[in-house]
Amino acid sequence: MKVVCINDSNRPKQIPEDKWIKKGVEYTLVKLVRLNIQANKLGASIEEITLDESCFPYEYFDADRFSPVFNSTISEEVEYSEPDFSEI
């Protein structure tokens, strides 16, 4: 699923800049998990950046930092016509 970063503020010092997300950039969401330490929070794993042991204790990005990308283009036009009730 494609997502866009909507919040790249307050980067934890444990995560290097080259492993940090950028606002306005699209990423591919790979997995969502419930975070054990932070109640009612979801963590996001993205394909483009791997948070490895150098980012400890961080394993996931806060899912609130992303918004889904919806493809709003319609590939074909659909013609609408009024239903025919004369047979009823």
DSSP string, the chain: -EEEE----S--TTS-GGGS--TT-EEEEEEEEE-SSSTT-EEEEESS----GGGTT--SEEGGGEEE------SS---------TT-
Count of structural domains within the chain: 1
pLDDT at 83: 61
Domain annotation covers residue 60: yes
pLDDT for res 54 = 92
Residue 11 forms part of a structural domain: yes
Please list the ranges in the chain whose pLDDT falls under 50.
74-76
Considering the domain boundaries, does residue 83 fall inside one?
no
Read off the pTM: 0.75
Note the pLDDT of residue 57.
Answer: 92
Residue 38, domain extent: 2-68
Question: Residue 36 has what pLDDT?
Answer: 78
Q: Please report the pLDDT score of residue 74 as a whole number.
A: 45
